[in-house]
Chain A
Amino acid sequence: MNKVLLGLLVGAGLGALDGLTAWFTPEARSQIAGIVMGSTFKGLVAGVLIGLFARKVRSVPATLVFGTALGLLFAYFIAHMQGKYYFEIMLPGAIVGLLTGYATQRYGRNSQTAAA
């Protein structure tokens, strides 16, 4: 699978799962559908960007740094919108970015390689 598509799928999947964990917070449970959709969309966009980066750079460490930074940035925006839970949102967001970066670089293929 090419890196961009893999980034999209991994990012969206992890984003959806990350959003679903809001179910464990009673005050957020009523808004779970919106949270899951928002988190999935966030993961999808981050995944595509990480996939594009992985395709261009082809370095595992660089992609890990980029994925973590992007995960942190996106999670910061979410936390900033809520104005609270910065640490609870940003730390898992960073790990999700790291995981997406690792997965795209380790398991994804560049389009040219896949075509060959």
Chain B
Amino acid sequence: MRLGDAALDRLRDAVRAPDLAGTRYRLVGPLGAGGMGAVFEAEDELLGRRVALKVVDVPLDGEAPAEALLEEALVLARLEHPGLVPVHDAGRLPDGRAFYAMKLVKGERLDAHLGHVALLKERLRLFLRVCEPVAFAHANGILHRDLKPSNVMVGPFGEVLVLDWGLARPLAGAGGGGGAGTPGFMAPEEARGEPVDTRADVYGLGALLDAMLRVAPAPPRPKALASIAARAMAPDRDKRYSDVPALAADVARFLDGERVEAHVEGPFERAGRVVKRHRVAVGLVAAYLLTRGLFILFRH
């Protein structure tokens, strides 16, 4: 007898579904699946609230995935920030699988959310809010190492959360993961398996910024912004921004109409930026000069 795809999917789901018997959690349904586990919506019956349970798959290759999941929970628990999902609980389920419970966030992945954010300025403000928890993590000695649009969620009230800290490592002695990140978003030194520092996440954020500007409906992409992304993604990490706040500050300068560090302006480009930044004052001066000019002209 051959099983159809649908039957196989159901079997896979049944195997993946965690055994929550005897725990404070009641399974509600699956939320998503990743490389080493899956996330489920569950009811925390003790506190009467919905949570997200991240559960490692049935272990086939030893304890490494379970240890990685619990390490992720430890990293997240250490970082309390509005841009990070709080961890409520962690441990082992009756079936022996490692899990952790976190706040249930219902929102959209960043790439999906950008589909209805057409304005460049709004996209950049979102980007700055992604930078905040990453900079916070760095200040607390943690690297994310897998920054990409699918790991950022935008909640229904506009809250921006950086998810999936499964590859996060302490800054001190963060050895290369041997290409554990996502191609296109992973710093070259990370891909080569070399030791990494905060500039690996600067690269990831640069790639994220670049991706955010390309999602349709893509807004016009000013040269200064392309230069910021290019500097953040410089193959040589010494040529990148030194840290996330420096990158965020340059994006903020762009938003404020100021000159950005990553871009050398020509005189016309600079004049255009200054006029745009002070367009009301320039308009009023022009109105004054026009009025005066017309009076002088007509008097003669």
Q: Is there an interface contact between A99 and B295, defined as CB atoms closer than 8 Å?
A: no
Say which residue of A25, A92, A102 sits within 8 Å of B291 (CB atoms). Answer: A92
Q: Is there an interface contact between A24 and B280, defined as CB atoms closer than 8 Å?
A: no
| A103 at the B interface (CB under 8 A) | yes
The interface bits of chain A over 19-60 (1 if a CB of B lies within 8 angstroms of the residue's CB, else 0) are 001001100000000000000000000000000000000000
Q: Is there an interface contact between B281 and A95, defined as CB atoms closer than 8 Å?
A: no
Q: Is there an interface contact between A91 and B284, defined as CB atoms closer than 8 Å?
A: no
What total of chain B residues lie within 8 Å of the partner, measured CB to CB? Answer: 11
Q: What distance in Å separates the Cβ of A82 from its nearest Cβ neighbour in chain B?
A: 14
A91-B291, A92-B288, A95-B291 known; A102+B296 contact, CB < 8 A = no
| B292 at the A interface (CB under 8 A) | yes
Complex Cα spacing A10 to B134, Å: 43
| A98 at the B interface (CB under 8 A) | yes
* Chain A interface, >50% SS class: helix
Residues of A within 8 A of B295 (CB): 88, 92
| A96 at the B interface (CB under 8 A) | yes
Residues of B within 8 A of A92 (CB): 288, 291-292, 295
The interface bits of chain B over 282-300 (1 if a CB of A lies within 8 angstroms of the residue's CB, else 0) are 0011011001100110010
Residues of B within 8 A of A98 (CB): 284
Say which residue of B285, B296, B299 sits within 8 Å of A99 (CB atoms). Answer: B285
Interface residues of A in 76-97 (CB under 8 A from B): 88, 91-92, 95-96
Say which residue of A21, A99, A102, A103 sits within 8 Å of B292 (CB atoms). Answer: A21
Residues of A within 8 A of B281 (CB): 99, 102-103, 106
Q: Is there an interface contact between A95 and B288, defined as CB atoms closer than 8 Å?
A: yes
Q: Is there an interface contact between B296 and A21, defined as CB atoms closer than 8 Å?
A: yes
A21-B296, A25-B299, A92-B295 known; A106+B288 contact, CB < 8 A = no
Q: What distance in Å separates the Cβ of B214 from its nearest Cβ neighbour in chain A?
A: 34
Residues of A within 8 A of B284 (CB): 95, 98-99, 102
Say which residue of A21, A95, A103, A106 sits within 8 Å of B287 (CB atoms). Answer: A95
Q: What distance in Å separates the Cβ of B288 from its nearest Cβ neighbour in chain A?
A: 4
Complex Cα spacing A75 to B299, Å: 19
Interface residues of B in 251-300 (CB under 8 A from A): 280-281, 284-285, 287-288, 291-292, 295-296, 299
Residues of B within 8 A of A24 (CB): 296, 299
Complex Cα spacing A15 to B181, Å: 63
Q: What distance in Å separates the Cβ of A88 from its nearest Cβ neighbour in chain B?
A: 5
Q: What distance in Å separates the Cβ of B194 from its nearest Cβ neighbour in chain A?
A: 45
Q: Which single residue of chain A is at the shortest CB-CB distance from B287?
A: A95
Complex Cα spacing A106 to B279, Å: 12
Q: What distance in Å separates the Cβ of B205 from its nearest Cβ neighbour in chain A?
A: 31
Q: What distance in Å separates the Cβ of B179 from its nearest Cβ neighbour in chain A?
A: 49
Q: What distance in Å separates the Cβ of B296 from its nearest Cβ neighbour in chain A?
A: 4
A95-B287, A96-B288 known; A106+B280 contact, CB < 8 A = yes
Residues of A within 8 A of B299 (CB): 24-25, 88
Q: Which single residue of chain B is at the shortest CB-CB distance from A14?
A: B288
Interface residues of A (CB under 8 A from B): 18, 21, 24-25, 88, 91-92, 95-96, 98-99, 102-103, 106
A selection of 5 A-B contacts at a CB cut-off of 8 Å is: A21-B296, A99-B284, A102-B281, A102-B284, A106-B280
Interface residues of B (CB under 8 A from A): 280-281, 284-285, 287-288, 291-292, 295-296, 299
The 4 closest A-B pairs by CB, nearest first: A99-B284, A24-B296, A95-B288, A88-B295
